Amino acid sequence: MKFDSTYRGEFTGDIAVRCPKCQSHGRLFPGPERGNVFASYRMVCGACGHNREWLPDAKTGGLSCPGTGPDLRGFGLSLWFQTPCHGEILWAYNLAHIDFLETFIGAFLRERRRDEKTGWANSSLQSRLPPWMLKAGNRTDVLAGLQRLREMSAESGRP
């Protein structure tokens, strides 16, 4: 299967997070963009109503995408979708991210297409996935972990 270049920022428009107040399923949304950075971010919890806004840094005039990993650097928030998998933490920003990972990890042939604008994009999400996720011997475990993440959405009753 051939894959076009996909970038992490494509999944950071609506991030499922754990509310720091009640530990329920909250959501982190970016505000309007200024150039290539977001003007602000807002976290909202539908369970307890807790919300918080992050305003741009005075030096940069904006906020970059939240960092990678189960904890969002600079926000003090943890991702909702995370589970132990093969001695690591498997995580995703949202259901669209889980869909992408299931398709990519589940493919037996992972051919990449050259991006017409940028060439071979080493910054693509496909090229940045950790080696343990990409090993054929781990495919079954990783796909089972992604299924556990998907079930977390059904349990919370929210996307």
pLDDT digits (tens, 9 = 90+) for 43-95: 999 999 999 988 766 555 555 566 778 988 778 899 999 999 989 999 999 99
Going 110 to 150 to 10 to 22, the CA torsion angle's sign is negative
Q: Which domain holds residue 48?
A: 2-156
Residue 36 has pLDDT above 80, yes or no: no
Please state, for a pLDDT cut of 90, what percent of the chain lies above it: 44
pTM over 0.85: no
- pLDDT tier, 1 (very low <50, low <70, confident <90, very high otherwise): very low
- Phi and psi at residue 63, in whole multiples of 5°? -115, 140
Residue 3 has pLDDT above 60, yes or no: no
DSSP helix/strand/coil, 8: helix
pLDDT for position 38: 59
Number of domains in the chain: 1
Residue 145 has pLDDT above 60, yes or no: yes
pLDDT for position 120: 61
